[in-house]
Chain A
Amino acid sequence: MKRYPLVISATAAGLAGVLSFHSHSISEALRSPSTNSATPPRGGSHTTPPKTAAPAKAGSPGRAVAPTSSPPGSSTTRATGTLEQYGYGQLSVRVTMAGGKITNVTLAKLQTADTYSQQLASYVVPILRREVLHAQSAKINGLSGATYTSEAYAYSLQSALDKLRK
């Protein structure tokens, strides 16, 4: 795969890269029946417009995973976020809430195009998880420096939270 020119533009641009450049080849590389079942294919062909629908998709209907019903006497709820494509793979997160607080965030699914991306994801995801959990204790309000993985993580997390708020 001749990645060089794509990486130059997309990594420097991060968001723009994720939204427009990478989705083509990667989503094709990753396409399989199992990966398409959770999320409608997006950006799979060159005629597909860039993923500009991102802000709207938190509320996108039709593929909501119902929150796990709470056991009687417990306020613990869980939901799995949408499967998000990012530059080099796709992921979804599963969030657990108890008493109005996020008590855990785990990866429900992670598929990457290559082993290097797998390593990167396994490296970045713990930071993101900590960030989410720490955000509640107001230690930091945000994280600067992560790129692809963090966006997919944030989108999937947001969709999971939206489901729990319904």
Chain B
Amino acid sequence: MSRIRRGDLLLETAPEEIHRVLDLCEDVRRMTGGWFDPWAMPGGVDPTGLVKGWAAERALDTLRAHGALAACVNAGGDLAVLGRPASGGPWRMGIRHPWRPDALACTVFVERALATSGTYERGLHLFDPHAHRPSSRAVSASVAGPSLAIADGLATALCVGGDDVLDRLAQIPGYEGYLVRADGTEAWSEGMPFAS
């Protein structure tokens, strides 16, 4: 991607994975009404708001292909799971509290994937494709759903767009969202699978 951004590599000759990731990016761009838009990033197309989830998902696919019956791949807080944990029951995941070091914001049951995007660890790093500047309306945004690549992109959009994107999420089958606003209040879509 860096070579494409620099102009050293033509998209047409890029490896197949690049095209697959960019196709997913386009899907999420459309799903979010442009709140996720790698093509609006400064310096050229940048799929990093989705590709970590995609990579973790591929890692889980590899484990599955080699016969793993249960596994959890946690790529820096973006989780893809398979089967059941050793403790039995569904995978129960904590979502980091954006400010309180000794607390979770909530716990959720995860069937397939959970992604969280937040501004609390590294400040304002998300880019608002509509405002054309770094901006985010939520301090933490999580999306649960069947694909971690999609969930990762949706969580990025949810963090940037806040409640506007949460409303859109409600229309996307299979995906649920949860966010913490800058004032500490929370919002979620109806089917968010809270564990407590």
Residues of A bordering B, CB below 8 Å? 5, 7-18, 120, 123-124, 126-127, 130-131, 138-151, 154
Contacts and interface: CB of A to CB of B under 8 A. Distances in A.
Interface stretch (B26-34, B50-58, B166-174): B50-58
Contacts of B95: 143-145
A10 B51 CA distance: 11
Interface of A is mostly: helix
Contacts of B117: 12
A139 B96 contact: no
24 contacts: A8-B42, A8-B125, A11-B121, A12-B156, A13-B48, A13-B49, A13-B52, A14-B52, A15-B78, A16-B52, A126-B101, A127-B96, A131-B94, A138-B85, A138-B92, A140-B93, A140-B104, A142-B74, A142-B93, A143-B77, A144-B115, A145-B95, A146-B77, A147-B77
B71 to A, nearest CB: 11
A141 B91 contact: yes
A5 B43 contact: yes
A67 to B, nearest CB: 24
Contacts of B4: none
Contacts of A144: 77-79, 93-96, 114-116, 142
A17 B48 contact: yes
Chain B interface residue count: which class? 35 or more
B154 interface: no
B156 to A, nearest CB: 6
B159 to A, nearest CB: 10
Given A8-B127, A12-B126, A143 B94 contact: yes
Given A9-B46, A130-B102, A141 B93 contact: yes
A149 B140 CA distance: 17
Contacts of A140: 92-94, 104, 107
Contacts of B96: 127, 143-146
A15 B102 contact: no
Given A141-B87, A143-B74, A145-B98, 6 more contacts: A13-B51, A13-B52, A15-B52, A144-B95, A145-B96, A146-B76
B76 A151 contact: yes
Name which of B52, B79, B115 has the most chain A CB atoms within 10 A of its CB: B52
